[in-house]
Amino acid sequence: MTLLSTTADSEKLGSYDINIPYLAVTAEEQARIEGGTQYPLYLPSWDPVWFKPMPPFEFSDPALRAGASKATLLRELNAKLIDMTPRMGTIVEGLDLSALDNAAKDELALLVSERKVVAFRAQGNFLDMGPTAQQQWMNYFGKPNYQPVSGSIKDHPGFHIIHRDGNKEELTSFFSQKTTSCLWHQDVSYERQPPGYVMLGLLEGPEVGGDTVFAATDEAYRRLSPSFRAMINPVKAIHSSANMINHTKALGGLVRKGAVQSVHPLVRVHPVTGERCIFINGEFITGFQGFKQAESKALSDFLLNHIITGHDFQVRVHWQPKTIVIFDNRSTLHSAIVDYFDEENGAKARHIFRLAAMAEVPVPVTE
Ligand SMILES: [Fe+2]
């Protein structure tokens, strides 16, 4: 049976970006989707394989090996850097990711740690490398992640594929129940060693719109009062993938991994910058240890509202064809934006791959 995304039943909708259940489509529909994409190899595949839990592993951030000047990355490759905001977000032109040696990759990790979100333009060579070489490239930055409920590329389970056909039934159904497509989250926060560096590669998308927005959680932390920071520093949050998996099971979607639960510090220390980052999301956290439900909800609502409404510590990436984005999942929250749709015409398909590099166990504040 071929499985692809569908949201025909609005009652079944999860978030637009990461948790939409994937159910069966007809062979006719499958043929239409395959005929309409420039990258059929990267359409979601649904092999019924079962992934074991990720075992603990040693991790040393490649940025810690980098020279502060980033001489290899920037001078030798003639790259041009354009800051998107004063403190976060950089566009890089004139740099071919596929050509980087290990020293340049270390410096790239440092750049991403410092700027949080980096968009690399004109990455045709990288996109043409194919999934095997792309996965190997990303493995330099951490272990691959295997998603429990989303589509990947056949024989390349580290690829998380976001493919939205953009048909108007799908989007009309979605917006009949949702006031916004925004869902702010970190990727895969429920794992013991969640992703550090995460790559998003645009394969196909609208000419205008479909941006991705990011918020800096270290700056969000600094904006809090010393009293409030002291209160949240020792708090521990419970992250779980159980709701996502149960939701998918209930709808008959494919599940490829058991539920994972981890307890992480609400404030984590970034291993490269040393900054304290609020590690919270609205997707996988089920509560805070030692808090009653209403207390957990009040604290979560306050922090998420603080981060989501803080446009003065956010950046919005405008995608262009052949753009690759690498962001730091430890110091940011992000959300997709579905604004490229009208009820008459639907929308152009949007097709993105994600490669997440699993990193350190989140480091708590010690003082
Ligand atoms: Fe995400």
Per-residue pLDDT of the chain (367 residues; tens, 9 = 90+): 333 333 333 333 344 344 444 555 667 767 767 777 788 889 888 778 899 999 999 999 999 999 888 888 887 667 889 999 999 999 999 999 999 999 999 999 999 999 999 999 999 999 999 999 999 999 999 999 998 888 888 899 999 988 877 667 777 777 888 888 899 999 999 999 999 999 999 998 888 889 999 999 999 999 999 999 999 999 999 999 999 999 888 888 889 999 999 999 999 999 999 999 999 998 899 999 999 999 999 999 999 999 999 999 999 999 999 999 999 999 999 999 988 877 666 667 788 999 999 999 999 999 7
| Residue 41 alpha carbon to ligand 1 centre in Å | 21
pLDDT at 44: 84
| Residue 63 alpha carbon to ligand 1 centre in Å | 22
| Residue 9 alpha carbon to ligand 1 centre in Å | 23
For residue 56, what are its two tokens? 């603990």
pLDDT at 10: 33
- Host H or E run for residue 297: helix 293-308
pLDDT at 251: 82
| Residue 329 alpha carbon to ligand 1 centre in Å | 9
pLDDT at 77: 65
Annotate 229-294 with DSSP letters as a single string. Answer: HHHHTT-EEEEESHHHHHHHHHTT----B---EEEEESEEE-TTT--EEE---SSSEEEETT--HH
What is residue 66's three-state secondary structure? coil
Name residue 227's beta-bridge partners.
none
pLDDT at 169: 76
| Residue 217 alpha carbon to ligand 1 centre in Å | 15
Q: How far is CA 260 from the centre of its chain?
A: 18
8 A C-beta contact, residue 271 and residue 188: no
pLDDT at 43: 87
| Residue 139 alpha carbon to ligand 1 centre in Å | 19
pLDDT digits (tens, 9 = 90+) for 35-84: 777 888 898 887 788 999 999 999 999 999 998 888 888 876 678 899 99
| Residue 17 alpha carbon to ligand 1 centre in Å | 7
pLDDT at 17: 46
| Residue 148 alpha carbon to ligand 1 centre in Å | 14
pTM, rounded to two decimals: 0.92
Q: Is 352 exposed, middle or buried (0-12, 13-18, 19+ CB in 10 A)?
A: buried
pLDDT at 216: 98
| Residue 18 alpha carbon to ligand 1 centre in Å | 6
Cα–Cα distance list, 234 to 185, 257, 288 (Å): 21, 31, 11
